[in-house]
């Protein structure tokens, strides 16, 4: 029988998992333990010296987490993954392997607000400096690159406005600069977009959102594409120079096309310590099994709701790349042909007061600061997450007084629209 490559839905259910060899359990067990027993002192020494793969301590690795890592890496088409405590933790650990104090990285201005804060403020404590570029002005990425640049960071679908970034074009800039391209693929998930196919080198996820899908766990993921030459010009010493804590091993030389994932685990996660709970890994695995079904339903519902809102008399504008008239529609056809995701924004003609009334009167929608749930979610950023900013700052952040963000769930589309209809009537 000829071996075949499993399809996406098959990988979402089976990748990385086997029946438990001891009990025969079909679901991946939760290995809720801190430590693992060594066979003997030589076995322990080989594990600590990176001469053998195995389990030492759950802060560094765990069998439940390992199934999750292999599954997401398979779905993305990467070589290896590392599961960590949150999407923010994934970003810290990834940059920790790339950056030295005084180094710079280029990032898209169209990012999740938490990432903008992290890059602008927390990263400065490490001496890592961000230079911003505009995905609507692709030459701005080229202009932002300097000899200190160590990476470029973008989102495939930007949160919250649904901006589609031209991954291939930004990848070309990264190649010319000799630096890796990191892509946050949280909103698209690998079901809609696989950034490695367009030149990305590293993919980042907040597992909290659509991969988990049920709003019950927080986690993050780093996926190594296995495509970047970490030994080039000695610019990435954590991967290209001997590691004194591992008897002089050179990680890129030893581990080849999954060296970055290894470095993030044995250098960054080991010392920074933002480990993922095995119980959360179990919940993420359960969520991922239905990822293709959920994401298609999310996209189908979002497209219908966005089209309905675009024709509503109280709505001034809708920003959703799935709509034919949207400025990112052509990019959406290229990068996310199965659907433009579940998250988008729209503006109310009544401005701030109308936004407050809308979120106060929904009943099916949940008013909260999250996305990617099976449930439909709503927030009016100007009165909540961005309340402390001036009106001018709110507009610059994409959170003007009229802006409402939706994360469309998998409920019946008619019920989603009916809830918005009754709430808009009161706004």
Please check whether residues 226 and 318 belong to one and the same domain: no
2 lies in some domain:
no
> Helix axis angle, 278-288 relative to 63-76, nearest 10°?
40
Predicted confidence (pLDDT) per residue in 355-382, tens digit = 999 999 999 999 999 999 999 999 998 8
Same domain, residue pair 274 and 317: no
- Whether the per-residue pLDDT at 113 is higher than 90: the answer is no
Is 176 in the same domain as 141? yes
Query: Which candidate, 67, 87, 77, places its Cα nearest to that of 26?
Result: 67
Least confident span in 60-74, 148-162, 208-222: 148-162
Q: What is the pLDDT of residue 1?
A: 41
| Spatial separation of the C-alpha atoms in residues 49 and 39, rounded to whole Å | 15
In a domain, 3, yes or no: no
Q: What is the pLDDT of residues 154-208, one digit of tens each?
A: 999 998 778 899 999 999 999 999 999 999 999 999 999 999 999 999 999 999 9
pLDDT digits (tens, 9 = 90+) for 409-425: 999 999 999 999 999 99
Average pLDDT, integer, range 56-68:
97
Same domain, 265 and 315: no
Say how far residue 412 (Cα) sits from the centre of its chain. Answer: 27
What pLDDT was estimated at residue 198? Answer: 98
How does the average pLDDT of the chain come out, rounded? Answer: 95
The domain boundary residue, chosen from 236, 267, 287: 287
Q: Are residues 296 and 210 in the same domain?
A: no
- The CATH number that applies at residue 215 is 3.40.640.10
- Other CB atoms within a 10 A radius of the CB of residue 33 amount to 14
pLDDT tens for 5-59 read 899 999 999 999 999 888 999 999 999 999 999 999 999 999 999 999 999 999 9
Assess contact for 161 and 345: CB atoms under 8 A.
yes
User: Cβ(41)–Cβ(257) under 8 Å?
Assistant: no
In this structure, is residue 1 part of a structural domain? Answer: no
End position of a domain, from candidates 266, 287, 308: 287
Q: How many residues does the chain have?
A: 427
Residue 392 is predicted with a pLDDT of 77
Q: CA-to-CA distance for 374 and 210, rounded, in angstroms?
A: 8
Q: What is the DSSP letter of 145?
A: -
Backbone torsion region of residue 127, taken as left when φ is above 0, otherwise alpha when ψ lies between -120 and 50, otherwise beta = left
Cα 334 to chain centroid, rounded: 20
- 369 and 237 belong to one structural domain: no
**Position 397 confidence tier, pLDDT thresholds 50, 70, 90:** low
The CA angle 209-210-213, to the nearest 5 degrees, is 85
Q: Please give the structure tokens belonging to residue 181.
A: 């391209």
**Structure token pair of residue 371:** 């996305």
Instruction: State whether 365 and 302 are in the same domain.
Output: yes
Tell me, yes or no, whether 218 and 310 share the same domain: no
Write down the pTM of the prediction.
Answer: 0.95
Residue 266 sits in the same domain as residue 296 = no
Q: Is the pLDDT reported for residue 126 higher than 90?
A: yes
Number of structural domains in the chain: 2
396 has pLDDT over 80: no
Residue 388 binned pLDDT confidence (cut-offs 50, 70, 90): low
| HSE of 121, CA atoms in CB hemisphere, 13 A | 6
Map residue 402 onto helix, strand or coil.
coil
> H/E element holding 222?
strand 220-224
Which of residues 231, 255, 287 is at a domain's end?
A: 287
Side-by-side strand order, sheet with 343-348: 315-319, 343-348, 403-407, 377-379, 366-367
Query: In which domain, by residue range, is 76 found?
Result: 8-287
Burial bucket for residue 151 (CB in 10 Å: 0-12, 13-18, 19+): buried
């Amino acid at each position: 029988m000829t071996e075949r490559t499993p399809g996406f839905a098959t990988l979402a259910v089976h990748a990385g998992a086997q029946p438990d060899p001891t009990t025969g359990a079909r679901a991946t067990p939760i290995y809720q333990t801190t430590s693992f027993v060594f066979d003997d002192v030589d076995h322990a020494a080989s594990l600590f010296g990176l001469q053998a793969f195995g389990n030492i301590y759950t802060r560094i690795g765990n069998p439940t987490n390992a199934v999750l890592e292999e599954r997401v890496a398979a779905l993305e088409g990467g070589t290896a993954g590392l599961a960590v405590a949150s999407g923010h933790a994934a970003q810290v650990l990834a940059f920790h392997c790339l950056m030295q104090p005084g180094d710079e990285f280029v990032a898209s201005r169209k990012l999740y607000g938490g990432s903008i804060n992290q890059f602008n403020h927390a990263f400065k404590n490490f001496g890592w400096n961000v230079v911003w570029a505009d995905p609507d002005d692709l030459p701005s990425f080229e202009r932002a690159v300097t000899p200190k640049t160590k990476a470029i960071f973008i989102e495939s679908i930007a949160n919250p406005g649904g901006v589609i970034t031209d991954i291939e074009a930004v990848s070309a800039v990264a190649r010319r600069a000799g630096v890796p391209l990191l892509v946050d693929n949280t909103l698209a998930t690998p079901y809609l977009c696989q950034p490695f196919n367009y030149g990305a080198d590293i993919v980042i996820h907040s597992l909290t959102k659509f991969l988990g899908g049920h709003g019950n766990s927080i986690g993050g993921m780093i996926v190594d594409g296995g495509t970047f030459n970490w030994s080039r010009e000695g610019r990435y010493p954590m991967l290209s120079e001997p590691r004194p804590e591992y008897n002089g091993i050179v990680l890129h030389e030893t581990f080849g096309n999954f060296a970055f994932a290894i470095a993030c685990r044995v250098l960054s996660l080991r010392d920074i310590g933002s480990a993922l709970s095995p119980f959360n890994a179990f919940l993420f695995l359960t969520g991922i099994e239905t990822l293709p079904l959920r994401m298609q339903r999310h996209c189908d519902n979002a497209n219908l709701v966005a089209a309905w809102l675009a024709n509503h008399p109280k709505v001034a504008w809708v920003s959703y790349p799935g709509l034919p008239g949207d400025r990112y529609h052509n990019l959406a056809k290229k990068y996310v042909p199965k659907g433009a995701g579940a998250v988008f924004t729209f503006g109310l003609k009544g401005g701030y007061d109308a936004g407050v009334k809308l979120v106060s009167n929904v009943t099916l929608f949940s008013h909260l600061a999250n996305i990617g749930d099976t449930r439909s979610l709503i927030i009016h950023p100007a009165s909540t997450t961005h309340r402390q900013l001036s009106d001018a700052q709110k507009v610059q952040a994409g959170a003007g007084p009229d802006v409402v963000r939706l994360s469309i769930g998998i409920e019946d589309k008619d019920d989603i629209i009916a809830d918005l209809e009754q709430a808009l009537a009161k706004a």
